[in-house]
Structure 1
Amino acid sequence: MTTIDTSIASPGLSYAIYPSLSGKRAFVTGGATGIGAAMVRAYADQGVHVGFIDIAETEGRQLCRSITDAGGAAWFRKVDVTDIAAMQAAIADFAKAEGPIDVLVNNVANDSRHEMQDVTPDVWNQSFDVNLRPAFFAIQAVAEQMIARKQGSIINFGSISWKAKVDSMPAYTTAKAAVHGLTRSFVKPLGAAGVRINTLLPGWVMTERQITLHLDAEGEQFLRANQPLAGRITPEDTAAMALFLSADDSALCTGQEFTVDGGWT
């Protein structure tokens, strides 16, 4: 397979070239760090005009600057996705500046651990306000233009946590399980116009946050016991799947789950 040595992505990485992505516009929620940042870089490497939002302003501006300094096209705005009006305004402003959005990636999430007895109604609602609600309203913001143009790809980030029966974050796992229903509820109305929507399920991705907070000796043992495939899943592994789902190479894939978990589930 033809690959490209990236100048915008992290050193040493390479991705397959997807000619159908060049010149398109992608919008990523939660794109300043971790998995989101890897996807932003990957899209920029493909010649995509990529817009992204995040509450991490310093990291977001640095990432945007690094892409544009390397000759890529990136657009960033600090947005808290619990503010739906601000999120939809950012989507509209990016489309006005760069053109109609071809790819939407609903990536933003917060998987903070919590025990059942510690969950209050506010904690429950806060989890859904980040892990589920923004995805619906981001889809609402792009669906009309995608349907009108009879093209587009929407990628909703789920999680293997509920399939793996993880018991340390019930509000998060419930919200992420609901993402699958959200995806499937849009398959027919979008599909009639040739617009695709899929769910991407990452396993335990070794972001800086996960390594810092959870990958201790006990975490290493947990990983070895549950992930059959050797190695650690990186944000770039997840980004590679997102690129495929964004490109014409997956033109007849919709309403499906695409899992990157090393065989965990």
Structure 2
Amino acid sequence: MRESRRRREIQDYYLGISADEITSHLTPASFDLWESVARYQRELQLGARWLEVGGGTGDLAAAALERGYDVLMTDVEVTLLDMAARRHPKLQTRLQHADLFDPDDLGAVAARGPFSIVTAVGAVLNHARDRRALVRGFEHLVALGDTSSLIVVDLMLSEMFPGHPPSVWADFLHVLPGLDMLARLIRSSGLLVLEAHSLYHRYSPTSTFDQEFDERMLRLFFHKSPAAGARVARREAGARPPAPCPGGRPLP
């Protein structure tokens, strides 16, 4: 019952605001998302497969498609997927219903991969019901990326709000990881941080939240690399470090 109520609150919020408001925070003026993605695609020699998780009404996915990326967009809300199809007819065959936090949905999305670019912007991960689910969602995002891939994530962090709360409520509950948890997630996933930006948006009062909401988050660009994946696999297997040679230096 609690989970269905949470899902209903999120759905009611996104269906109750304008499409322009949904997309306003996807194109912050402080930097150019497309320029960053194109640069890393070129430097890291990545492919053009683009997965957008939690794409809402599809504006970002449609823009990626127009720029030549091979796009698949997912969202947990069927109503939003229908809106995306009407708003952007070219996306109609590129939409899939999936819940980032559901392991069963992960396989269905992965079957349409691998993906060179994986995005979860607009604080999708903060929609988790608790921190454990947030960790699972982050791991799912990383798993959906190819062996060498770019992962772009927006995260609202506890330290970005007064008192460092574990969550904030504004129309629905937003779970907030701390910097310590983020560091553990990056380390355990073997990711390399390429770029980070601080984003800030002020939202007007709504019918269910009668005050302005200051949304603060980080936009993080990660590189998932084969070398990092190998290190994580060794760590998970409990592999020992290389034995030192007689001279005291590690063997190559």
Give the TM interval when normalised to the shorter protein.
Answer: 0.5 to 0.7
Higher percent of residues as helix: 1
CA contact (8 A) 1:106 1:135 kept: no
**CA distance in 2: counterparts of 1:131 and 1:106, whole angstroms:** 12
**Alpha-carbon deviation of 1:65?**
4.6
**Alpha-carbon deviation of 1:44?**
2.5
Pick from 19, 28, 31: which aligns with 2:55?
A: 31
1:102-126 CA-to-partner distances (Å, cap 9, x unmatched) read: 0112442345xxxxxxxxxxxxx93
Mapped pair 1:104 → 2:125: no
The aligned residue for residue 76 of structure 1 is 95
The aligned residue for residue 219 of structure 1 is 212
The aligned residue for residue 175 of structure 2 is 172
**CA distance in 1: counterparts of 2:53 and 2:195, whole angstroms:** 15
1:115-169 CA-to-partner distances (Å, cap 9, x unmatched) read: xxxxxxxxxx932255331111232243xxx22xxx3112233224423345555
**CA distance in 1: counterparts of 2:129 and 2:210, whole angstroms:** 30
1:29-65 CA-to-partner distances (Å, cap 9, x unmatched) read: 21115xxx55324422322122222222121232145
Pick from 103, 110, 129: which aligns with 1:92?
A: 110
**CA distance in 2: counterparts of 1:23 and 1:61, whole angstroms:** 28
| DSSP 3-state at the match of 1:27 | strand
Pick from 165, 181, 184: which aligns with 1:181?
A: 184
**Alpha-carbon deviation of 1:176?**
7.4
CA contact (8 A) 1:55 1:78 kept: yes
Query: Which is worse superposed, 167-176 or 51-60?
Result: 167-176
Unaligned runs of 5+ in 1: 1-8, 112-124, 191-195, 224-231, 255-265
The aligned residue for residue 140 of structure 1 is 143
Task: Pick closer, same or farther for the CA change 1:178–1:52 going to 2, 3 Å.
Answer: farther
**Alpha-carbon deviation of 1:216?**
8.0
Aligned amino acid, residue 159 of structure 2 = W
Percent sequence identity over aligned pairs? 14
**CA distance in 1: counterparts of 2:54 and 2:179, whole angstroms:** 15
Q: How does 1:33-52 map to 2 (within 5 A)?
A: 33=57, 37-52=58-73
CA contact (8 A) 2:156 2:176 kept: yes
Aligned amino acid, residue 125 of structure 2 = A
Q: Which has the larger radius of gyration?
A: 2
Q: How does 1:201-212 map to 2 (within 5 A)?
A: 203-205=199-201, 210-212=203-205
Aligned amino acid, residue 163 of structure 1 = M
Query: Which is worse superposed, 158-167 or 132-141?
Result: 158-167
Aligned amino acid, residue 75 of structure 1 = R
Higher percent of residues as strand: 2
Task: Pick closer, same or farther for the CA change 1:31–1:163 going to 2, 3 Å.
Answer: same
Unaligned runs of 5+ in 2: 1-22, 168-173, 229-252
TM-score for the superposition, normalised by structure 2: 0.52
The aligned residue for residue 249 of structure 2 is none
CA contact (8 A) 2:74 2:96 kept: yes
**CA distance in 1: counterparts of 2:129 and 2:200, whole angstroms:** 22
Task: Pick closer, same or farther for the CA change 1:203–1:25 going to 2, 3 Å.
Answer: same
The aligned residue for residue 131 of structure 1 is 134
